[in-house]
Structure 1
Amino acid sequence: MRRLDLAPNLAIATLWADWLCQCGIEATVQRAFSSSIAGQIPPDQALPEVWLVDEQHYERARALLDELRARPSRQWWCRGCGECIEGGFEQCWNCGAMMPG
């Protein structure tokens, strides 16, 4: 096993690990509940970690994680309902219309 990265919180660590597993790289979240002892140890040591089961996948996992972190952020106006959509979304949350273009 090899540690891939620290995550800022448990939700992000879980999303990263799930993303890697969906891409065929077995990953686990370690130190998921260590934030409860953050006052007794340095805070950076209480952060959750994403670990790879097979360290041979490290380079590919690092590239996938970098790709996930670099998702584009956009702002566009929905043609269906006029809603302003911000972030990496390609579909309107309000009416379901797809991003133009």
Structure 2
Amino acid sequence: MLRLTQAPDIAMATLWRDLLCEAGMPASVQRQHLGAAAGHLPPGECLPEIWLTYPEHAERARALLREFQHLPQRQWRCHACGEAIEGGFEQCWNCGALMPQ
């Protein structure tokens, strides 16, 4: 196993692990419960970590996480319902209409 990276919180760690697993790179989250020890241990030692089962996936896994962390952010208004949409969304959360091209 290989420690790939630390995540800022358990939610991101779980999301990243799931992303890697879906891409065919088995991974696990370690240290997910050490946040309770914050104040007793150095903060950097309490963050959840992503571990890869197979070290040969490291380069591909880092590239996938880098791509995921730099998704394009957009601001647009839905033509169907007028809802203002921000972020990496290409579909209106309110009515389901697709972002205009």
* Corresponding residue for residue 10 of structure 1: 10
Partners of 1:87 and 1:38 in 2: CA distance: 31
Q: CA deviation at 1:30?
A: 0.3
* Corresponding residue for residue 56 of structure 1: 56
* Corresponding residue for residue 42 of structure 1: 42
C-alpha deviations, 1:14-58, integer Å up to 9, x for none?
000000000000010000000000111001110000000000000
* Corresponding residue for residue 98 of structure 1: 98
TM-score by length of 2: 0.99
Alignment root-mean-square deviation, CA:
0.5
Check if 1:89 corresponds to 2:84. Answer: no
Partners of 2:24 and 2:80 in 1: CA distance: 37
Check if 1:70 corresponds to 2:98. Answer: no
State how many pairs are aligned.
101
